[in-house]
Amino acid sequence: MTAFPDAAAFRATACASPPDERGAFGDFGGRFVPETLMPAVLELEGAFLEAINDDAFLQEWFDLLRNYVGRPTALTYAARLSDAVGADVWLKREDLNHTGAHKINNTLGQGLLCLRMGKRRVIAETGAGQHGVATATAAARLGLDCTVFMGAEDIERQALNVFRMKLLGADVVEVTSGTQTLKDATNEALREWVTRVRDTHYIIGSAVGPHPFPWMVRAFQSVIGVEARLQCEQAGIKPDIVVACVGGGSNSIGIFHPFRETDAGLVGIEAGGRGTRPGEHGASISYGEPGILHGSRSTILSTPTGQVQPAHSISAGLDYPGVGPELAYLAETGRARFVPITDDEALDAFVRLSELEGIVPALESAHAVAWLFRGEWGGQRPTILLNLSGRGDKDVQQVARMLAERS
Amino acid sequence: MNRQTPGRLEAAFSRREDEGRKVFVAYLTVGDPGIQESLELADALVRQGVDIIELGVPFSDPVADGPTIQAASERALDRGTSLDDVFAVAGALRARHPDVGIVLMGYANPFHHYGLAETARRSADAGVDGWIVPDVSWEESWRFREHLNANGVAWIPLIAPTTGPQRAAEMLADTRPPFAYYVSVTGVTGVRSGLPEGWDEPYRAIREAAGTPIVLGFGIGNRDSAAGAAAVADGVVVGSAIVSRAATEPADAVATFVRELRDVV
């Protein structure tokens, strides 16, 4: 018995509930990019549609996912965690993927698409370096040139990932404008794409950006939820709640989307940071407003004069002032709800999951774990499916330092 | 006041055409080095023969701009410049110069944040003739045009070397602007050593099919490039070369520099 879907079943789920012809989910999404990029964005939409409807393309990607990434990833019953929180908790183990997180699902999909479009060069933005490493990995495997844009501040904080990207053959460009973090790395990647659009594909790492990116990234990351549904059926369970952390939203939409038509409640966990004031968090849905950033209309963190408000989170992957348009739409329609979790709660959960289950989660994923300890569900012991989007090896130094500061 | 602005932009093109000359468009980032300085610079530029002033609305994430305008925006924001200040500069400039074209160039979010209906109305009140919003594609422009049209403010589309004649023609037929803005390079704003080789071919192909004047911008910052652009295009836009000087030089000195370019256009 395998949890891996066949091409037709995957396609049917991944492509369901598409955006409208403008690339919008309700009133969120669209294509807010300079005209120079519009032809490329339209070409990409056509190429993606063709590819996703081509069994040969999906088989090639599936082959990489199985034999290179190590999919399907396990669905693990977390017995001791379950008892600690009073729920039956199942972990979708994206931490077991090659390179340590779900990001590789998308970078390999887009990398293959890039080859299909006849482009030989990819660029990417990265915050902590996870998406940068996943892009550099896909580029190495597929024989593509790769340049990664990373804020100067992040380069200093994440020296190890910078080295990994370089080891994988990527150029890492230091971004010194603005806040020198993920937001500005994204700006610089967009500027580079404008400049080199004829020979370069931009692998956006989250379910953000102009149409078709949010839809395309959702489709590639849906492999998480499609597998998880099969695995739940095989295990004879029906999740009452599906929970995942939300930065830009790629891991959350990846697990939510295939469960949309089920009865499961969908809970997205945002970066509550160290407070509710501007600059203290990264909770774009909980505390933000409709706005236009990085190619789409969604909910963003905005200053009183309409500038983009820099975010804060203990976790670099959630330290972003926007969110994918489809998640903003799920929030607006009430299909999903979103809860901010603080830095402190995430740090506690990082430790607890390590102690209880022998799994060191990424600080991003630890936000979702932390929500379990709030016990915010009425009634019986629910069955909860949690997307453990990445492993925490990258975070151990930072956590060691913070725990020392705390004690 | 100035609710209807029939043809200030159109008039600029027909006036120059009658003279056998081209339209000169000058960009400055409002608030760098200061609000009052921006007004005085715009005023000095108009007095040196600039036909259309583009008032740059500073934004935290200007993805279509190179380092010069990025830095100017950051400095303007550090000084607290907001859209209110831009309207104040536009209104004061309009009071001094009833005929000059005034166009706001800014990114989508500040307009969206204050409300598109509200900002379109305030634009008309301040005597603004048009908006250029580089991160809003033709496909998304309906959301903006709806409110601009209601207030007699023009939507000025950008056309790029990647656009191609067919898309450009459809875009212009749909938006019917007083003029369009052709981006000379696939790239961001900023002074370059010269216009890219062969820039004029795609420009001509698009211009031929268009019944609309099309100005050329991005990378024009000296007499050679200004003259080269003006030999083909309906007008030229100078931005970063002004912005980099405005940060450190008095308005008169910047205006003198612009005069030299203006004279070859």
pLDDT digits (tens, 9 = 90+) for A29-38: 999 999 999 9
Question: So which residues of A are the catalytic ones?
Answer: 103, 125, 389
> Is residue A161 located within the same domain as residue A89?
no
A265, part of any domain? yes
A15, part of any domain? no
- Which of B30, B70, B109 to substitute to test the interface with A, most A CBs within 10 Å? B109
Residue B265 has pLDDT above 90, yes or no: yes
Place of tokens 């479009």: A117
Q: What is the SS3 assignment for A221?
A: helix
If 0-12 CB within 10 Å is exposed, 13-18 middle and 19+ buried, where does residue B20 land? exposed
Q: Supply the pLDDT for residue B122.
A: 98
Q: Are B214 and B181 in contact (CB under 8 A)?
A: yes
Residue B144 has pLDDT above 80, yes or no: yes
> What's the token pair of residue A80?
């001791």
Taking only the tens place, the pLDDT of each residue in A224-262 is 999 999 999 999 999 999 999 999 999 999 999 999 999
State the pLDDT confidence band at A159, using cuts at 50, 70 and 90. confident
Question: Cα separation of B57 and A258, whole Å?
Answer: 42
> What is the average per-residue pLDDT within A4-24?
93
Q: Supply the pLDDT for residue A375.
A: 96
Question: Cα separation of A284 and A298, whole Å?
Answer: 9
Does the beta carbon of A292 lie under 8 angstroms from any beta carbon of chain B? yes
Does the beta carbon of A296 lie under 8 angstroms from any beta carbon of chain B? no
Nearest to B246 by CA among B238, B237, B254: B254
> Is residue A42 located within the same domain as residue A92?
no
Give B7 or B86, the one with higher predicted confidence: B86
Does the beta carbon of A285 lie under 8 angstroms from any beta carbon of chain B? no
* Residue type for position A149: F
Taking only the tens place, the pLDDT of each residue in B148-204 is 999 999 999 999 999 999 999 999 999 999 999 999 999 999 988 889 999 999 999
> Is residue A342 located within the same domain as residue A384?
yes
Question: Cα separation of A330 and A166, whole Å?
Answer: 38
State the pLDDT confidence band at B6, using cuts at 50, 70 and 90. low
Q: Supply the pLDDT for residue A378.
A: 82
| Alpha helical stretches, state H, A121-258 | 130-142, 152-157, 159-167, 182-196, 213-235, 250-256
- Across the strands, what pairs with A241? A265, A384
Of B112, B164, B167, the CB nearest to A292: B112
Nearest to A254 by CA among A287, A294, A225: A225
Q: Supply the pLDDT for residue A406.
A: 87
Which among A213, A231, A261 is the end of a domain? A213
> What is the average per-residue pLDDT within A355-373?
98
Measure A190 CA to nearest chain B CA, in Å.
6
Dihedral sign, Cα of residue B61, residue B65, residue B69, residue B70: positive
Q: Are A30 and A296 in contact (CB under 8 A)?
A: yes
- Which of A181, A307, A308, A320 to substitute to test the interface with B, most B CBs within 10 Å? A307
Q: Supply the pLDDT for residue B191.
A: 87
Measure A156 CA to nearest chain B CA, in Å.
22
- Which of B70, B162, B170, B240 to substitute to test the interface with A, most A CBs within 10 Å? B162
Give A77 or B193, the one with higher predicted confidence: A77
- Across the strands, what pairs with A123? A147, A202
Q: Point out the catalytic residue in the list B32, B37, B40, B54.
A: B54
Domain harbouring A171, CATH code: 3.40.50.1100
Q: Supply the pLDDT for residue A2.
A: 65
A286, part of any domain? yes
DSSP code, position A98: G
Q: Supply the pLDDT for residue A1.
A: 46
Q: What is the mean pLDDT of chain A?
A: 96
Q: Which domain holds residue A124?
A: 25-69+103-213
> What is the average per-residue pLDDT within B49-63?
98
Active site includes B99?
no
> Is residue A158 located within the same domain as residue A296?
no
> What is the average per-residue pLDDT within A186-204?
96
Q: What is the SS3 assignment for B155?
A: strand
| Alpha helical stretches, state H, chain B | 8-19, 35-47, 67-78, 83-96, 108-114, 116-125, 142-150, 165-175, 200-209, 223-230, 240-246, 251-262
State the pLDDT confidence band at A158, using cuts at 50, 70 and 90. confident
- CA dihedral (A348, A350, A355, A358) in degrees, to 10, reads 170
> Is residue A94 located within the same domain as residue A133?
no
Of B82, B112, B137, the CB nearest to A31: B137
> Is residue A233 located within the same domain as residue A158?
no
Judged by CB atoms closer than 8 Å, whether chains meet at A33 and B164 is answered as no
Residues of B in contact with A212 (CB under 8 A): none
CA angle A41, A47, A51 (to 5 degrees): 145
Which among A213, A232, A264 is the end of a domain? A213
A356, part of any domain? yes
Domain B8-262 CATH (choose: 1.10.760.10, 3.40.50.300, 3.40.50.2300, 3.20.20.70)? 3.20.20.70
> Is residue A275 located within the same domain as residue A383?
yes
Q: Are A39 and B164 in contact (CB under 8 A)?
A: yes
> What is the average per-residue pLDDT within A75-86?
98
Active site includes B65?
yes
> Is residue A204 located within the same domain as residue A280?
no
Taking only the tens place, the pLDDT of each residue in B108-120 is 999 999 999 999 9
> Is residue A89 located within the same domain as residue A171?
no
Quote the pTM value: 0.97
> Is residue A163 located within the same domain as residue A234?
no
Residue A343 has pLDDT above 70, yes or no: yes
Q: Compare all CA atoms of chain A with the CA of B67 and give the residue at the minimum distance.
A: A177
- SS3 annotation, B119-142: HHHHHHHCCCCEEECCCCCHHHCH
State the pLDDT confidence band at B3, using cuts at 50, 70 and 90. very low
Nearest to A223 by CA among A50, A79, A14, A78: A14
Q: Are B74 and B124 in contact (CB under 8 A)?
A: no
ipTM above 0.90, yes or no: yes
Judged by CB atoms closer than 8 Å, whether chains meet at B162 and A177 is answered as no
